[in-house]
C-alpha cells in the first residue's frame, strides 16, 4: 500500500493537508456554523438559546420594526447601525493615522545603511513584542488626569505662565483612537518596510537620469511600488481594530461601545447569545466585504506578509 501511496500524488497531497484541514474544520468552520444556527434562534428569558428559525436578531441589528411612530409601516432605529458605523469609522481612522505615521519610519529604515537597518527594525519590534494588555495599560497611565502627559504639560504651561487645567484625555473616544493607533502601528511599519526594501535601487538611478526630482520619484516610483506593503499592513490593522474590545474597555471607560464590545456584552452581560451571534456574523461579513473590495483594487499583498 505504501507503494501505491508513493505513486498516487493526489493522495499524498490530501494526506499532507488533512491534519490542518480537519483541525480548522472542527475549530473554525463548525463554530461558525454553530454561530449561524444560534443567530437564527430566540432567547429564552433565562438566557438560553431556543433553536428555531427567526430573523428577529438581524432585524434588531438594523433596527427594523413595525412598531413605528407617526403611523409608518416600517421604520429603522439606527442604534446598532450607529455602533457598526462607529467601529468602521474608528477602523478607517486608525488605519489612516497608522499609515501616515508608519510610512516615514518605514521609508527611513528602508533607506538606511544596510548594517543599521536591523537595529532600527529591532527597535520597532520591541514594543510589539511586549504584551498587548500592558501596552494599553501604559497609555492609561499617560492619559489620566494626573498622568505623565498632564504633568509635563503643567510644567510647560506654568513655566510659560499660562493658566492650565489638566486635560481630560482618558475615557474619551480620542483615548481609544490613540490606543488603537499605538497597538497596531508596528503591524504597518513592517510590511511597508519590506516592500520599500525590495525596490531595486537602480530604479531610482533611472528616474534621476530621466530628470525626475525627488518628489516626482517618490510619487511615480516609490509610492506605487510600495503599495503591496500598504495593502498588507491595512489588512493587518483594519480587521483587528474592528473586533477589538479591550482598548475601548480600558481606555474608553466602558463608554465607547464598538462592535467588539457589543458582542462581548451580549455574551457576558446581557445573556443574549442569539443576538451576539448575529452581531458576530454581521461583523465578519462586513469585514470580509471591505477586505474583498480593498484587495480587488490593490491586490492581496501576501508576498509582503511573509517577506
Partner 1 sequence: MNKSNLFKLLALLVIASLALAACGAEATPAVDAGPKVTSNGFTCPEPSPRIDVTSTELNIFVWTEYIPQDMLDCFELVYPIKLNRDEYSSNEEMYAKVSAGGSAYDLVQPTDYIIGLMIRQELLKELDKAQMPNIVNFDDGWMNQDFDPGNKYSIPYLAGTDSIVVNTDTVENVPQSWADLWKPEYAGKMIFLDDSRAVIGITLLTLGYDVNTTDPAQLEEAKAKLAELVPNIKVFDSDSPKTALIAGDADLGMAWTGEAFIANQENPAIQYIYPTEGPILWQDNWVMLKDAAHEDAAYAWLNYTMQGDVFWLTIRDFQYTNPNKAAIEYAKANYPDVYNAYADSPITNPPAEAVANGHGITDVGDATPLYDDIWVEVKGQ
Partner 2 sequence: MNPFRRSPFVIVATVLVYFFLYAPIIGLVLYSFNASRANVTFQGFIPAFSERVVMDGSLVKSSPCGPFHWYCDLAKNDDVAEAAGNTLTIAFTSTIVATIIGTMSALALQRYNFKMKPFSQLSLYIPIVIPEIVMGIGILTLFSQFFGWANNTFNLVGDSRLSLGIATVTVSHIAFMVPFVTLVVQARLQGFDKSFEEAAMDLGANEWITFRRITFPMILPGILSGALLAFTLSLDDFVITFFTNGPGSTTLPIYVYGLLRRIITPQVNALSTVWILVVFFAVLLLQILQNREQKQQ
User: Within 266-295, which residues bind partner 1 (CB under 8 A)?
Assistant: 266-272
Q: Which residues contact 139 (CB under 8 A, 6 or more apart)?
A: 175, 178, 179, 182, 251
50: closest CA among 295, 273, 276?
273
Stretch that binds partner 1, among 67-75, 77-85, 153-161, 235-243 (CB under 8 A): 77-85
Distance CA 132, CA 266 (A): 24
Of 14, 145, 152, 206, which one interacts with partner 1 (CB under 8 A)? 145
179-208 footprint of partner 2 as x/- string (CB under 8 A): ---x--xx--------------x--xx--x
Residue 281 in the binding site for partner 2 (CB under 8 A): yes
Residue 146 in the binding site for partner 2 (CB under 8 A): yes
20 binds, among partner 2, partner 1, none (CB under 5 to 8 A by kind): partner 2
Q: Which residues contact 196 (CB under 8 A, 6 or more apart)?
A: 106, 107, 110, 111, 222, 225, 226, 229
Distance CA 128, CA 249 (A): 20
44-73 footprint of partner 1 as x/- string (CB under 8 A): -xxxx-------------------------
Residue 277 in the binding site for partner 2 (CB under 8 A): yes
Number of chain positions touching partner 1 (CB under 8 A) = 28
Distance CA 202, CA 34 (A): 54
The residue with cell 499532507 is 16
State how beta strands 49-50 and 42-43 pair: antiparallel
Specify the residue, 67 or 209, whose C-beta has the smaller distance to partner 2: 209
Specify the residue, 170 or 232, whose C-beta has the smaller distance to partner 1: 170
Of 90, 105, 110, 170, which one interacts with partner 1 (CB under 8 A)? 170
182: closest CA among 228, 240, 227?
240
Of 58, 64, 107, 164, which one interacts with partner 2 (CB under 8 A)? 107
Specify the residue, 235 or 258, whose C-beta has the smaller distance to partner 1: 258
DSSP single-letter state for residue 147: S
Residue 99 in the binding site for partner 2 (CB under 8 A): no
Residue 160 in the binding site for partner 2 (CB under 8 A): no
Kindly calculate the radius of gyration of the chain based on its CA atoms and give it in whole angstroms: 25
305 binds, among partner 1, partner 2, none (CB under 5 to 8 A by kind): partner 2
Q: How many of the other CB atoms lie within 10 Å of CB of 219?
A: 11
38 binds, among partner 2, partner 1, none (CB under 5 to 8 A by kind): partner 2
Amino acid at each position: 500500500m505504501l507503494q501505491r501511496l508513493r505513486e498516487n500524488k493526489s493522495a499524498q497531497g490530501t494526506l499532507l493537508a488533512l491534519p490542518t484541514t480537519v483541525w480548522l474544520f472542527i475549530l473554525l468552520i463548525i463554530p461558525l456554523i454553530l454561530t449561524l444556527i444560534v443567530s437564527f434562534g430566540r432567547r429564552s428569558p433565562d438566557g438560553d438559546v431556543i433553536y428555531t428559525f427567526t430573523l428577529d436578531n438581524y432585524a434588531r441589528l438594523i433596527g427594523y420594526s413595525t412598531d413605528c411612530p407617526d403611523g409608518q409601516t416600517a421604520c429603522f432605529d439606527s442604534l446598532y447601525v450607529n455602533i457598526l458605523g462607529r467601529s468602521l469609522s474608528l477602523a478607517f481612522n486608525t488605519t489612516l493615522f497608522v499609515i501616515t505615521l508608519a510610512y516615514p519610519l518605514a521609508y527611513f529604515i528602508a533607506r538606511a545603511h544596510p548594517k543599521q537597518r536591523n537595529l532600527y527594525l529591532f527597535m520597532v519590534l520591541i514594543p510589539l513584542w511586549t504584551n498587548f494588555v500592558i501596552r494599553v495599560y501604559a497609555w492609561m497611565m499617560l492619559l489620566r488626569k494626573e498622568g505623565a502627559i498632564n504633568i509635563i504639560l503643567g510644567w510647560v504651561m506654568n513655566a510659560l505662565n499660562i493658566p492650565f487645567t489638566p486635560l481630560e484625555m482618558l475615557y474619551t473616544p480620542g483615548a481609544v483612537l490613540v490606543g488603537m493607533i499605538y497597538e497596531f502601528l508596528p503591524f504597518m511599519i513592517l510590511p511597508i518596510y519590506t516592500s520599500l526594501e525590495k525596490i531595486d535601487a537602480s530604479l531610482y538611478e533611472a528616474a534621476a537620469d530621466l530628470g525626475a526630482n525627488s518628489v516626482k520619484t517618490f510619487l511615480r516610483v516609490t509610492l506605487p511600488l510600495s503599495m503591496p506593503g500598504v495593502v498588507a499592513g491595512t489588512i493587518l490593522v483594519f480587521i483587528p481594530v474592528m473586533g477589538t474590545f479591550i482598548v475601548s474597555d480600558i481606555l474608553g471607560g466602558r463608554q465607547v461601545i464598538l462592535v467588539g464590545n457589543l458582542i462581548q456584552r451580549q455574551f457576558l452581560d446581557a445573556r443574549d447569545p442569539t443576538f451576539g451571534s448575529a452581531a458576530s456574523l454581521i461583523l465578519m461579513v462586513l469585514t470580509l466585504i471591505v477586505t474583498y473590495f480593498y484587495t480587488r483594487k490593490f491586490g492581496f499583498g501576501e508576498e509582503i506578509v511573509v517577506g
